[in-house]
Every structure is written in structure tokens, then in C-alpha cells.
Amino acid sequence: MDLYTEGMRQVVKDRGFATVARGLKMDDSRLRKKVDPDYPVRLTLDDFIKIAVLTKDARCLSEILADMELMAVPADKPDDDASLCDRIIHQQVAVGNVAQEVQAALADGKVDANEAWAIDRAVDVAIEKLCALRSELKEMAEPRLAKA
């Protein structure tokens, strides 16, 4: 299977063929065949997109994004109850979680694929929290005077 669909195959396997197939309104055996690297039937672009949207799992797109030198960051969901101080604390906790994931991954001297994925998720959360903080600060900024 090519590099781009390997992440998708792993996501489908981890989520369960029956669960993903049900979400796609597709027969379980058909989905199994489409993600089987030795079977001639392949995932269509439509299947690929539907699985990525259904699972909301960035592994589906990780190789594509890497080749484009981009990364997926979850969209910030406004939390109107969070103060600026709350956002700063949330961001700092998220960075601490990244450090914990890295430390746990390195405990045995090597980083396996699952540990790398956990680190990626923790980094994504930290970026999301930092972006939320930036958005809050931008909204607080006083309007600039227009140039005459």
C-alpha cells in the first residue's frame, strides 16, 4: 500500500472495520478489501475524505501534510467562560503534557509509532491552546488609528 493510504489503513484498523464501515454506509467486507494492500480494489478519493472526516483522525492525512510541509491543528472552539489567565494556564498545562509524553516515550530509549502519535496529539493540543490565547489577545487589542 502506498505511503498516503497507510495512515488511513491504520486508522480504520484501530477504529474497527465494522464501526467505520457503518459510518460510511458500506459493507464491512468491502471496506476490508479496499484497505487491503494486496487486493486490487482501492479506496476512492471520496472514501478517503469520508473516513478522514468521520474519524477526525489526523493520521489519515499525516503523510500528505508532511509532503506539503503543513500540519493539522484542531480548530479553536471558543470558550466564552475562559478568562485570559485560564487560557494561559491551559496552554502551560498542554506544554507540560507534551513534556510528559516525550519523557514517557524515551523511558525505554526509543520512540515507537504509538508514542510518536501520542506526542503529535499532545503537540497539536498545545498549539491549539496557544492559538486560542493569541486570538483572545488579538480581540483585546485596542483598534489602531487609521492613517490619514
Q: Provide the grid cell at 5.
A: 493510504
pTM (predicted TM-score): 0.53
User: What phi and psi, each to the nearest 5 degrees, are found at residue 105?
Assistant: -65, -35
Q: Provide the grid cell at 23.
A: 459510518
80-119 pLDDT, tens digit each: 667 778 888 888 888 999 999 999 999 999 999 889 998 9
15-58 pLDDT, tens digit each: 999 999 999 999 989 999 988 888 888 888 898 899 989 998 88
Q: Provide the grid cell at 2.
A: 502506498
